[in-house]
Amino acid sequence: MTTSGILWYRRFRAAAYTSMVGLIVLTLLIVLPIHPFSYLPPIIEGGGPGLWFLLGYLIYAAVGFGGFASLSALMFAVETYEGRRGDDTMMTAGFVLLYSGVTVTSVLLLLAGALGGYAINVQGVTTQVAGNTLGLFVYPITTSSLVSVIAAALLVFGMSGAKVQPR
């Protein structure tokens, strides 16, 4: 089956919904006193690696839910009211890469922050030792962030040449 019969706003809305479910689960893990997640609030409070954790959370909330919901609304207007469709190849590649790039970036930031913060605030290691842990995540986070930027460019190019579809 080709993707030409599927409207893109529905995919972005689904991505927003799944990101919101992930965000709800993550929030519950942070705030409920469930071991080992009960270590997360002091890690966030401790700063340093906790800021990485918080950044991952905020990116997932802002882009994972807010970004996909906004794209869904935009795509709905373009596809429904204007009757235009973007290039399916670019839209498919952009959608998959953006969803995976944002998710992977957020998860890596969360993981790096949690591990580094646990090492400092629970195990009592020095910030330099915890910094070595964070350093392991820099390249993968950079790579997944670049994937997200490339994905956004693909989506812009995919919609820039959107053509009116016959009804």
20 exposed, middle or buried (CB, 10 Å; 0-12, 13-18, 19+)?
middle
Whether residue 1 is contained in a domain is answered as no
- Terminal Cα-to-Cα distance of the chain (whole angstroms): 20
Six token digits for residue 120: 């400092």
61-104 confidence digits (pLDDT tens): 998 889 999 989 988 888 888 888 888 899 999 999 999 999 99
CA distance 71 to 10: 10
Q: Is residue 6 part of a domain?
A: no
In a domain, 5, yes or no: no
3-class state of residue 154 by DSSP? helix
At residue 164 the predicted structure's pLDDT band, cuts being 50, 70 and 90, is confident
E strand segments, the chain: 84-85, 163-164
Higher pLDDT: 163 or 28? It is 28
For residue 49, is the peptide bond before it cis, meaning its omega torsion is within 30 degrees of 0? Answer: no
Flag whether 4 is in a domain: no
129 occurs within a structural domain: yes
- The 10s digit of each residue's pLDDT in 38-68 is 887 777 767 789 899 999 999 999 988 899 9
Q: Does 2 have pLDDT greater than 60?
A: no
- What is the tally of structural domains in the chain? 1
Q: Residue 84: beta bridge partners? A: 164
Residue 1 clears pLDDT 60, i.e. is over it: no
**In a 10 Å sphere around its CB, with 0-12 CB exposed, 13-18 middle and 19+ buried, how is residue 160 labelled?**
exposed
pLDDT at 11 over 70: yes
Residue 167 is assigned to a structural domain of this protein: no
Within a domain: 2: no
pTM across the whole model: 0.79
Expressed as residue numbers, the domain containing 30 is: 13-162
